Structures are given as C-alpha cells and as structure tokens.
Amino acid sequence: MTDGIGSPERTPEIVDLVGKPINEIKGEIIHKGKAKLVYRTTEESVMLMEFMDDATAFDGKKKGSISSKGMYNSHISAAIMRYLNQCGINTHFLEQMEDRFQLVRPLDMLPVEVVIRNLAAGSLARRLGFDEGDSLERPILEFYFKSDELGDPWLNRYHIRALDLCSDDEIVRLEEDSWRINAMLREYFLDRDLELIDFKLEYGRAADGALVLGDEITPDTCRLWDISSRDKLDKDRFRHDMGEVEEAYQEVYRRVAWED
C-alpha cells in the first residue's frame, strides 16, 4: 500500500477511486502496449494502467510470458516512481492499486525513448564492439524512435527536430531530467545492492503541456546486476534464455518493493 507522500495532488477524485474495486473503475482500453494496458476510469483526469505477464523482445519477434511479472513490475515501478516524485521529478504515477494495477495521470506520450548507459551492454556492446560490463569513460544518453515497424531506430537531436517529435526546449528538458533520474536511480539501486547498467525512459505531455515521466521503470526497462555476483536480474534472462527469469523479477521486487 501507499501513503501517497510525494504523489502529485492526491485529490478527492483519486481518494475516491482508490477505495473502489478495479472492476468498478475500469473503463475502455485506450492503449495496448506489449506488456501493459491503459484504461480510462470513471474520472477523466485519471487512467488505470495494467501490467501484464506478457514478455517480448527484439521488437516483438520473441514472445512469451513470465509468471507474476505483472504484479512484480507494477510494485517495483510504483516504488521507484514514488521515490522519484519525492525527489522532485514529475511522474505520471498516482497510486498503486491491487495486484498489477496502478492509477496514473493521462499523458500524450512522445514517440521517443531515452536510454542512459552507465556501463556497456546490449545493443551498445554489439554496435561498438565493447564486452558486456565494460566501463565507459563517461555515461551515454541516446534517443530511439518508438516504432516497431522501423525497429526502434537510433535518433539524434537533429532527427528529432526533423521529424518534429518535440521542440528544442523539450529536448533539453528530456536530457536534463534523464541525467538527474540516472543519478537518483544509481544511488537508489546501489542501496539495494544492484548496479544500474542501463535503462530506458519515456515521457509525455500533461494537459498543461509540461513534460512528465511516464511508462514504467522495471527489470523490463533496466539492466540490473547484483553488485557482488554480477548476476543479471532483468529481462536479459528472458531475451537470451538464461533461465530463472521469474526468480530475477522476484528478487528485484524483494529488494525494491518490500519496504513499501
């Protein structure tokens, strides 16, 4: 459960929704992602997000399911978003509901993913010839275009402007906020004996036009390694058929969300 500290505006409408069963507040589906669904609620200013057990990789080419992932991820993301809210980052997160559901603010999502890399892994290692876990002289920030058809291609600021995905000011905000979030998350995970190798963020515009952090922060969207054993505790276990996939999510859940 959540005490709402740091959550943006715990308005009477939100308090009212929190007390109701999911089936009473769940409206039509307005967005179907690969691992999440977003529903309208009886309140126009509040959406309901459902975290599914479905898992995909390589632009949806690999498909599967990870038992209890939806529940683990919903609680992990809630704990992290609450922490970021408390640190002064505007996020869409409002309240954790039962099991795999959370209340979030409606956002008009930008079709841009921001990836920050503290160590080399994944596509960076493949593209530039690093070994997994190689250190970098300094962390890297990258943009990707959210488009399964195009295979989420890499973008730079000029591509973003040429495609008119967001303004120059918004690009600056995306970069500044993402670097701040990286510093906060590295410390947060280190306190839990996890090293944040890399992660992906998505932002959207709120009704007043402000950029707000949306989506999720979970082992689906971060690479997290145990600080001493360097065991991978994230979706790479699913991507590369490494086994003990559910156990990895459960372990991150244990370290991150149990204190809530």
Residue 123 contact, options ligand TMP, ligand ASP, none, Cβ 5-8 Å cut-off depending on partner type: ligand TMP
Residue 243's alpha-carbon distances to 46, 70, 186, in angstroms, are 38, 18, 26
Give me the least distance between CB of 63 and ligand ASP, in Å please.
Answer: 8
- Cα atoms found within 13 Å of the Cα of residue 109, Cβ hemisphere only: 19
Q: Is 109 in the site for ligand TMP (CB under 6 A)?
A: no
Taking alpha carbons only, the member of 257, 218, 216 closest to residue 234 is 218
| Gap between the Cα atoms of 258 and 260, Å rounded | 5
Task: List, in sequence order, every beta strand (DSSP E) within the chain.
Answer: 29-32, 36-40, 47-51, 54-57, 62-65, 93-96, 101-104, 108-119, 135-145, 154-155, 194-205, 211-213, 222-226
In the block, tokens 């922490």 appear at 83
Q: Identify residues 160-199 at the interface with ligand ASP (CB under 6 A).
A: none
Residue 115 contact, options ligand TMP, ligand ASP, none, Cβ 5-8 Å cut-off depending on partner type: ligand TMP
Q: Is 146 in the site for ligand ASP (CB under 6 A)?
A: no
β partners of residue 42: none
Q: Is 56 in the site for ligand ASP (CB under 6 A)?
A: yes
Give me the least distance between CB of 64 and ligand TMP, in Å please.
Answer: 15
Q: Identify residues 212-231 at the interface with ligand TMP (CB under 6 A).
A: 221-223
Burial category of 216 from C-beta neighbours within 10 Å (exposed 0-12, middle 13-18, buried 19 and up): buried
Q: Is 160 in the site for ligand TMP (CB under 6 A)?
A: no
Residues 59-88 vs ligand ASP: string with x where CB under 6 A? xx----------------------------
| Gap between the Cα atoms of 189 and 196, Å rounded | 7
Q: Identify residues 199-258 at the interface with ligand ASP (CB under 6 A).
A: 235, 239
Task: Work out the angle at residue 2's Cα, subtended by the Cα atoms of residues 80 and 98, and round it to the nearest 5 degrees.
Answer: 95
Give me the least distance between CB of 60 and ligand ASP, in Å please.
Answer: 5
Q: Is 119 in the site for ligand TMP (CB under 6 A)?
A: no
Give me the least distance between CB of 66 and ligand TMP, in Å please.
Answer: 15
Q: Identify residues 177-206 at the interface with ligand TMP (CB under 6 A).
A: 198-200
* Interaction site with ligand TMP (CB under 6 A): 115, 121-124, 152, 198-200, 221-223
